[in-house]
Amino acid sequence: MTKLKIETGVENQILRAKAVPVEKIDKSIKKLIQNMVDTVDKANGLGLAAPQVGVGKRVIVIIFNYDTDHEIIMPFINPEIVYFSKKENICEEGCLSLPGVWKSVKRSSLIRVKFLDLKGTDQLLEIENINARVVQHEIDHLDGILFVDRAEKDMEEPKN
Protein backbone atom coordinates (compact mmCIF):
# COMPACT_ATOMS: atom_id res chain seq x y z
CA MET A 1 0.00 0.00 0.00
CA THR A 2 1.00 3.64 0.31
CA LYS A 3 2.79 5.57 3.00
CA LEU A 4 1.00 8.90 3.31
CA LYS A 5 2.54 12.31 4.01
CA ILE A 6 2.13 13.30 7.66
CA GLU A 7 1.03 16.89 8.26
CA THR A 8 3.20 18.74 10.78
CA GLY A 9 3.20 21.96 12.79
CA VAL A 10 1.30 23.46 15.71
CA GLU A 11 -0.26 26.14 13.48
CA ASN A 12 -1.15 23.74 10.62
CA GLN A 13 -4.78 24.51 9.73
CA ILE A 14 -5.41 20.93 8.58
CA LEU A 15 -4.45 19.67 12.04
CA ARG A 16 -6.54 22.39 13.72
CA ALA A 17 -9.78 21.68 11.80
CA LYS A 18 -12.55 19.54 13.27
CA ALA A 19 -12.99 16.30 11.30
CA VAL A 20 -16.39 15.30 9.92
CA PRO A 21 -18.09 11.96 10.55
CA VAL A 22 -17.81 9.18 8.01
CA GLU A 23 -21.22 8.77 6.37
CA LYS A 24 -20.52 5.54 4.49
CA ILE A 25 -17.78 2.94 4.90
CA ASP A 26 -16.85 2.42 1.26
CA LYS A 27 -13.73 1.38 -0.65
CA SER A 28 -12.19 4.85 -0.25
CA ILE A 29 -12.48 4.70 3.57
CA LYS A 30 -11.09 1.16 3.65
CA LYS A 31 -8.19 2.23 1.41
CA LEU A 32 -7.56 5.27 3.63
CA ILE A 33 -7.44 3.01 6.70
CA GLN A 34 -5.02 0.57 5.04
CA ASN A 35 -2.76 3.45 3.99
CA MET A 36 -2.95 4.89 7.51
CA VAL A 37 -1.94 1.49 8.96
CA ASP A 38 1.05 1.37 6.60
CA THR A 39 1.96 4.96 7.45
CA VAL A 40 1.82 4.59 11.25
CA ASP A 41 3.74 1.31 11.04
CA LYS A 42 6.52 2.79 8.90
CA ALA A 43 6.68 5.92 11.09
CA ASN A 44 7.00 3.84 14.29
CA GLY A 45 3.99 5.57 15.83
CA LEU A 46 1.37 4.22 18.23
CA GLY A 47 -1.59 5.79 16.48
CA LEU A 48 -2.63 8.02 13.62
CA ALA A 49 -5.67 10.18 12.89
CA ALA A 50 -6.94 10.93 9.39
CA PRO A 51 -6.35 14.70 9.75
CA GLN A 52 -2.65 13.93 10.28
CA VAL A 53 -2.57 12.66 6.69
CA GLY A 54 -4.64 15.53 5.35
CA VAL A 55 -8.06 13.85 5.44
CA GLY A 56 -10.74 15.59 7.50
CA LYS A 57 -12.68 12.42 8.41
CA ARG A 58 -13.29 10.94 11.87
CA VAL A 59 -11.01 7.92 11.44
CA ILE A 60 -8.12 6.76 13.61
CA VAL A 61 -5.88 3.70 13.70
CA ILE A 62 -4.30 2.51 16.93
CA ILE A 63 -1.52 0.03 17.61
CA PHE A 64 -2.58 -1.66 20.84
CA ASN A 65 -0.05 -3.46 23.05
CA TYR A 66 2.80 -1.94 21.07
CA ASP A 67 5.95 -4.04 20.75
CA THR A 68 4.47 -7.08 22.53
CA ASP A 69 3.37 -10.53 21.40
CA HIS A 70 -0.21 -9.22 21.61
CA GLU A 71 0.25 -6.22 19.32
CA ILE A 72 -2.78 -5.47 17.14
CA ILE A 73 -3.61 -2.58 14.83
CA MET A 74 -7.22 -1.50 15.03
CA PRO A 75 -9.22 1.08 13.06
CA PHE A 76 -11.90 3.23 14.70
CA ILE A 77 -14.49 4.98 12.54
CA ASN A 78 -16.41 7.88 14.13
CA PRO A 79 -14.95 7.17 17.59
CA GLU A 80 -16.47 8.86 20.63
CA ILE A 81 -15.31 8.52 24.22
CA VAL A 82 -18.40 7.89 26.34
CA TYR A 83 -16.66 7.43 29.71
CA PHE A 84 -13.53 8.92 31.29
CA SER A 85 -12.31 7.54 34.63
CA LYS A 86 -11.71 10.02 37.42
CA LYS A 87 -8.33 8.32 37.94
CA GLU A 88 -5.77 10.07 35.79
CA ASN A 89 -2.08 9.73 35.17
CA ILE A 90 0.59 12.00 33.78
CA CYS A 91 2.90 10.68 31.11
CA GLU A 92 5.18 12.13 28.47
CA GLU A 93 3.69 12.19 24.97
CA GLY A 94 5.02 12.85 21.51
CA CYS A 95 3.32 13.05 18.14
CA LEU A 96 4.17 12.20 14.55
CA SER A 97 2.85 15.66 13.60
CA LEU A 98 5.19 17.42 16.05
CA PRO A 99 8.50 15.59 15.59
CA GLY A 100 10.97 15.98 18.43
CA VAL A 101 8.45 17.58 20.83
CA TRP A 102 7.74 15.78 24.10
CA LYS A 103 5.47 17.08 26.89
CA SER A 104 3.81 15.67 30.00
CA VAL A 105 0.05 15.31 29.62
CA LYS A 106 -2.61 14.31 32.16
CA ARG A 107 -5.20 11.86 30.81
CA SER A 108 -7.80 9.45 32.19
CA SER A 109 -6.33 6.04 32.88
CA LEU A 110 -9.47 4.19 31.74
CA ILE A 111 -11.95 5.10 29.01
CA ARG A 112 -14.85 3.58 27.12
CA VAL A 113 -15.03 4.39 23.43
CA LYS A 114 -17.83 3.67 21.00
CA PHE A 115 -17.08 3.47 17.28
CA LEU A 116 -17.83 1.68 14.05
CA ASP A 117 -15.65 -1.17 12.81
CA LEU A 118 -14.83 -1.77 9.12
CA LYS A 119 -18.16 -3.55 8.62
CA GLY A 120 -20.09 -0.60 10.03
CA THR A 121 -20.99 -2.47 13.22
CA ASP A 122 -21.31 -0.49 16.46
CA GLN A 123 -18.57 -1.37 18.94
CA LEU A 124 -17.91 -0.40 22.56
CA LEU A 125 -14.45 -0.95 23.99
CA GLU A 126 -13.05 -0.35 27.47
CA ILE A 127 -9.38 0.57 27.33
CA GLU A 128 -6.84 1.43 30.01
CA ASN A 129 -3.31 2.71 30.59
CA ILE A 130 -1.12 3.45 27.53
CA ASN A 131 -3.77 2.15 25.11
CA ALA A 132 -6.33 4.57 26.60
CA ARG A 133 -3.80 7.40 26.37
CA VAL A 134 -3.16 6.76 22.68
CA VAL A 135 -6.90 6.64 21.87
CA GLN A 136 -7.49 9.93 23.73
CA HIS A 137 -4.54 11.52 21.90
CA GLU A 138 -5.81 10.41 18.47
CA ILE A 139 -9.44 11.41 19.12
CA ASP A 140 -8.14 14.84 20.15
CA HIS A 141 -6.71 15.12 16.62
CA LEU A 142 -10.23 14.66 15.25
CA ASP A 143 -11.27 17.75 17.19
CA GLY A 144 -8.29 19.88 16.14
CA ILE A 145 -6.56 19.49 19.52
CA LEU A 146 -2.84 18.75 19.75
CA PHE A 147 -1.21 17.20 22.79
CA VAL A 148 0.76 20.39 23.45
CA ASP A 149 -2.60 22.11 24.08
CA ARG A 150 -3.13 19.73 27.01
CA ALA A 151 0.47 19.69 28.26
CA GLU A 152 0.95 20.22 31.95
CA LYS A 153 2.46 23.69 32.26
CA ASP A 154 4.06 22.88 35.61
CA MET A 155 5.46 19.59 34.28
CA GLU A 156 7.52 21.10 31.46
CA GLU A 157 11.15 20.22 31.10
CA PRO A 158 13.45 21.76 33.73
CA LYS A 159 15.36 24.81 32.59
CA ASN A 160 19.16 24.39 32.73
H or E stretch at 72: strand 72-84
Separation between Cα atoms, residue 117 and residue 123, nearest integer Å:
7
Residues 133/40, Cβ–Cβ less than 8 Å: no
Where does residue 50 fall: left (phi above 0), alpha (psi -120 to 50 degrees), or beta otherwise? alpha
C-alpha to C-alpha distance for 39 and 66, rounded to whole angstroms:
15
86 in helix, strand or coil? Answer: coil
* Tens of pLDDT, residues 97-118: 999 999 999 999 999 999 999 9
Query: For residue range 20-36, what is the model confidence (pLDDT) as tens digits?
Result: 999 999 999 999 999 99
- Give the DSSP per-residue string, 88-113: EEEEEE--TTSTT--EEEEEESEEEE
Which residues are annotated as catalytic? 138
Q: What pTM was computed for the model?
A: 0.93
- Starting at the earlier edge strand, list the strands of the sheet with 110-116: 47-49, 59-64, 72-84, 110-116, 122-128
For residue 156, pLDDT beyond 50: no
Kindly list the domain boundaries of the chain, sorted by start residue.
Answer: 13-155
Looking at the structure, give the CATH architecture of the domain made up of residues 13-155: Alpha-Beta Complex (3.90)
Burial of 141 (0-12, 13-18, 19+ CB in 10 A): buried
Q: Among the ranges 70-74, 122-126, 149-153, 156-160, which has the highest mean pLDDT value?
A: 122-126
